[in-house]
Structure 1
Amino acid sequence: MGIREEWLKADGSSFPGKTYVECLLKPVFNDQRDYLFHAMFQVHRAHVLMLCDKGILSAADAKKILQAVEELSRCNHKELQYDPRYEDLFFMMEARMTEKIGTELAGNMHIARSRNDMGVAMYRIVLRERLLELIGKVLTLREVLLEVCEEHLETVMPAYTHTQPAQPTTLSHYLLAIHDVTERDTRRLWSAYHNVNRSPLGAAAITTTGFDICRDMVKESLGFAGTVENSYDAIAGADYLLETAAATIVLMTNMGRWIQDFLLFCTREFDAFRIADPYVQISSIMPQKRNPVSVEHSRSLASSAVADAQAVCTMIHNTPFGDIVDTEDDLQPHLYRAMDKSMRVLDLMSAVIRTMEVNRERLLQKAREGYITITELADAMVREKGIPFRTAHHIASQLAQKAYREGKELYDLSPEMIELVTKDVLGTKIALTHEELSRVSDPLYFIEVRKCPGGPSPAETKRMLEERKTRTSQDRRGWQEQHDALEEAERKLCRRVQEFIRGA
């Protein structure tokens, strides 16, 4: 017997071979069981009721089908195991329906429906629930950021460009910037949610059906906000997946950037943030260590979430414009994992930010170092001495270099040094008093005069903070309304099924 014959004898000579089962069918079955079981039965309920309402199924037949649907839906789906007699969970449940109500009724529940539109509907139901949960956690992070912002309107710190200390700002100004990025992430996630929350049911395989069905009736029963009107689009369109993946990628990429900042800020060298004890780990051999593992894992998980979401985009790329349910069987778990990891990152960082201690004195001291207020010295020369800006900038640069060579900070500069440098640059001396030098070297003054819209002045930051608190509250109310609407749609559908069974 040749190698080919020996292999086929062991693996099986007909579909599905053992290798196909172990590598594909069993993992796909487990994913369907874990993620789609509940959504499958919601779709059954809505579809059967619609068929009855439209007179396609009799009330008596619909009652028998729905009784079996309710009975099967109460089984402990976590205990279900792959059975080689059935291709997947869908066919296993259909076989169990057949055992209960017979082949004819079990088959009739699928009138005017295909695995295609049913599969996409289940994916959308599960995905909208996860998106809504993810948005809720993003809102929590925004709320936490605003809470901490309010405590640090006057907490001075250096702002960095090119990883170098650049100018003084406040911790509130910095955290508001993170909030504003996260607020835009919220908008992107809502956009994905609204495109996901549309019903494909009624598209059947790809061209609808000859039966007189009502797509809107099923849409409303399942709490969808709209219908994917074009039936080809309902089956072939995958941009709802891409948009969800892309929004997740942007969210985690944005978070990863400032998480990296946090890791630096809580080093002993920076000594700006102290992570609360529940979120640090002591070294097994070095008892002085306070390892910020919560932040480290957040950084790693954010990267992993991006990778899973990117896998979704890659898997859809160049997929033919048609039914991709089989591709989605492999694809969906990547998206679920990306969102699950994102939620873990959001939970961790919300806890870290809410409980961390801020070393205000250390941050203020760092804002007094490295000549980072010298922009204000140049500005003062323009405003008060009438010197052209580029000339003033050159003078400030020469002063910084001279101070560095002499081991001095800006607040150490004397009027004599100003006169010396201005004489070299301009050919004439410019005098600044000790009081003027003290003012332009003070990071608090630097911040206070920056009252332009969006600036770090405490008054301006307070204005921005109040606006963002209002918007976040509105977003939270909108989220709660959507959350309640989905729950009410599900309760209403289940209630109608029970009333139908009792009354039919």
Structure 2
Amino acid sequence: MRERLKAKPSEVVCKYLFAPAILEDSKRSFKNMIKVNLAHVLMIKKQGIISVNDAKKLTSSLLTLQNKGHTAFELDPQLEDYYFNIEQYIISQVGLDVGGKIHTGRSRNDLHSTISRMNVRDSIIPMYSRMLELRSTLLKLASDHKETVLTGYTHMQPAQPITLAHYFAAIAEAVGRDYERLENAYKRLNYCTLGSGAFAGTSFNIDRHYTSLLLGFSGPIENSLDAVASRDYLLEISSGYATFGSTINRFANDLYIWTTDEFGFIEVDDSMAVCSSIMPQKKNPITLEHIKSKTSHLLSAYVSIFTCMKGIPYGHCRDLAAESIRLFWDASAQMEAILELLNATLKTMRIRQETMKSRANCNYSTVTELADELVRREGVSFRVAHQIVGEVVGNCIDSGLPATDITIDMVQAAVKDYTDQKFLWTQEHLNYVLEATNSVCNKLSLGSPAPEECQRMIDNSENRLVKDKETYRDLVNKLQQSYDKLYKEVNQINID
């Protein structure tokens, strides 16, 4: 393979470039390397480029290697890459005259770019399943907590009461959008580059649609240059990972804050925590800390991929083919860890409903409802109502009183400073208006935290989730059907 070159690969090149890449491909690409070779052999046999007898020998050798596994032979970095190691193994089994035909009508460029897409496909499909599980977990929590009232925050200050269902349904919506982005990315990933050659195609009468079908792709990327030069699917998927990471970082940070003694809204299960080596009272929610931090690695991968593709030609080069994808695998591993850790944490955490409700009733988050009631019942402008309630709250805070201690006399005293109207309210009605559950249930607008409205949103999200699960199952089934067809046709050759 190195006839043009007068020297063997340098030890430095082998140590830092060839050997690590070959070892990684041996572990990651072995199964897909076999599939691509099998599909290519079937195709060139079908097209009359090689004989049926040669195809039998090649496919039989590939199946034997597949059964032995990726440790069947010793890897040699002097052969430059993993494919040449595979090819040399096949030649050693069937001879140069037959084994040398396996590479007819293709290049390593289209071979590796096809395997790259298959490897990425293999990594993202399980991520869909985990994201679907997360959405199910979130919607289950939302359904269970339509009556659980807690404080909603803006600027990290108590704002208005909502329900835990409202919060979890919001996160489920965001994760649903993240899922949609990654699902759409699959549609552009799942195209085959095999048969594009080095970049200019081939003069052999190959059938690219056939190999695409056998390998589970939607079809070939037609332009042979674009086929080997494109890695934009890495950018799109890693961008989707990073966007999902942003959603999860914010979510995990909320949960993390809620575990603090000052909030005390939730408690992670003992199995999700560690203790201190010195402080016996400690229970540290480490899964949330790792989840938050791991989301940063998703962004790092996107930046790495993006910068590897910056300032390079639109064609094949090792910046693109070898280096751009390197951190994608770490991003996939981080995504898996984030989803598994988050699902486990959510399913086992304890929610302190009474603490949530008590805080919402005491921390003045309900007083916007009082201002609204003044507008509705007394006909004052909202700005006047805002001034009245603001004065009441200021006086209470100065006196160290919680919202539950607001009296009708305090309200009447503030009213006199802004209007001549007389408000004939009872303490009972004031207490009703300031109660957090009533504040939530009184909400009428679309998308509000009222239990009925939350249920409607949960139902809509669950309907979308059902459809996404069906689409996911179809995707998995179609891929398996293609592989079944591949091996059925390979076996048929060896039977005939």
Report the TM-score range of the alignment, normalised by the length of the smaller protein: over 0.9
Q: Which residue of 1 aligns with 2:138?
A: 145
Deviation at 1:427, TM superposition (A): 4.9
**Deviation readout 1:400-448 (Å, 9 max, x if unpaired):** 2122112222332222221221211235554432123112211111100
1:357 aligns with 2:350: yes
Q: Give the corresponding residue for 2:158.
A: 165
Instruction: Report whether the alignment pairs 1:394 with 2:379.
Output: no
Indicate conservation of the 8 Å contact 1:249/1:310, yes or no.
no
**Backbone CA RMSD of aligned residues:** 1.7
Report the secondary structure of 2:160's partner residue: strand
Q: Identity percentage over the alignment?
A: 32
Written as runs of structure 1 = structure 2, the 5 A alignment for 1:211-230 is 211-230=204-223
Provide runs of 4+ in structure 1 moved above 6 Å: none
Q: Superposition pairs for residues 473-488 of structure 1, below 5 Å?
A: 473-488=466-481
**SS of match in other structure, 2:78:** coil
Say if 2:65 and 2:72, in contact at 8 Å, map to a contact too. Answer: no
1:92-134 alpha-carbon deviations (Å, 9 max, x no partner): 1111122122223223221221111111100111111111111
After superposition, the Cα gap between the structure-2 partners of 1:394 and 1:195, relative to the gap in structure 1 and judged at 3 Å, is: same
Q: Are the aligned partners of 2:312 and 2:319 in contact in 1 as well (CA < 8 Å)?
A: no
Q: Which moved more, 1:479-488 or 1:99-108?
A: 99-108
2:21 equivalent to 1:28: yes
Structure 1 residue 441 corresponds to structure 2 residue 434: yes
Distance 1:430 1:78, change over 3 A: farther
User: Within the alignment, does 1:328 sit opposite 2:321 as a pair?
Assistant: yes
In structure 2, distance between residues paired with 1:470 and 1:208: 45
Shift of 1:74: 2.7
Amino acid at match of 1:74: N
Alignment partner of 1:265 out of 252, 258, 262: 258
Distance in 2 between residues matched to 1:309 and 1:448, nearest whole Å: 43
Unaligned runs of 5+ in 2: 1-5
SS of equivalent to 1:68: helix
Number of equivalences: 491
Which position in structure 2 is the counterpart of 1:52?
45
Instruction: Tell me which moved more, 193-202 or 321-330.
Output: 321-330
User: What are the superposed Cα offsets for residues 195-235 of structure 1, whole Å, 9 maximum, x if unpaired?
Assistant: 11111112111121122111111111011112212222111
Distance, in Å, in 1 between the alignment partners of 2:369 and 2:392 is 13
Tell me, which stretches of 5 or more residues in structure 1 are unaligned? 1-12
Task: Determine the C-alpha separation between the residues in 1 that align with 2:491 and 2:407.
Answer: 86
Q: Give the SS at the match of 2:212.
A: helix
Q: Is the 8 A contact 2:389 2:411 kept in 1?
A: no
Instruction: Kindly provide the amino acid, as one letter, of the partner of residue 32 in structure 1.
Output: D
Asked if 2 retains the 8 angstrom alpha-carbon contact of 1:168 and 1:367, the reply is yes
In 2, are the aligned partners of 1:280 and 1:294 still within 8 Å (CA)? Answer: yes
Contact 1:137/1:346, CA 8 A, preserved across alignment: yes
The answer to whether the 8 Å contact 2:109/2:199 transfers is yes
What amino acid maps onto 2:320 in structure 1? Answer: T
- Mapping 1:415-494, distance limit 5 Å: 415-494=408-487
Does residue 322 of structure 2 align to residue 299 of structure 1? Answer: no
> How many angstroms apart in 2 are the aligned matches of 1:310 and 1:405?
50
Q: What secondary structure does 1:159 align onto? A: strand
Which residues in structure 2 correspond to 1:47-196 (within 5 Å)?
47-78=40-71, 82-196=75-189
> Aligned partner of 1:143: which letter?
S
User: Deviations for 1:49-74, whole angstroms, at most 9, x for unmatched residues?
Assistant: 11111111111111111122222223
CA deviations over 1:227-277 (Å, ceiling 9, x no partner)? 212222111122111101111111112111110111111122211111112
For residue 498 of structure 1, what is the aligned residue in structure 2?
491
| C-alpha contact (below 8 Å) 1:178/1:258 kept by paired residues | yes
Single out whichever of 103-112 and 188-197 deviates more from structure 2.
Answer: 103-112
Give yes or no for the alignment of 1:249 onto 2:254. no
TM-score, normalised to structure 1, is: 0.94
Question: In the alignment, is the contact (CA less than 8 A) between 2:446 and 2:453 conserved in 1?
Answer: yes
TM-score, structure 2 length as denominator? 0.95
Task: Report the alpha carbon displacement of residue 475 of structure 1 after superposing the two structures with TM.
Answer: 1.2
* Whole-Å separation in 2 of the counterparts to 1:400 and 1:446: 17
Aligned partner of 1:198 among 181, 191, 197: 191
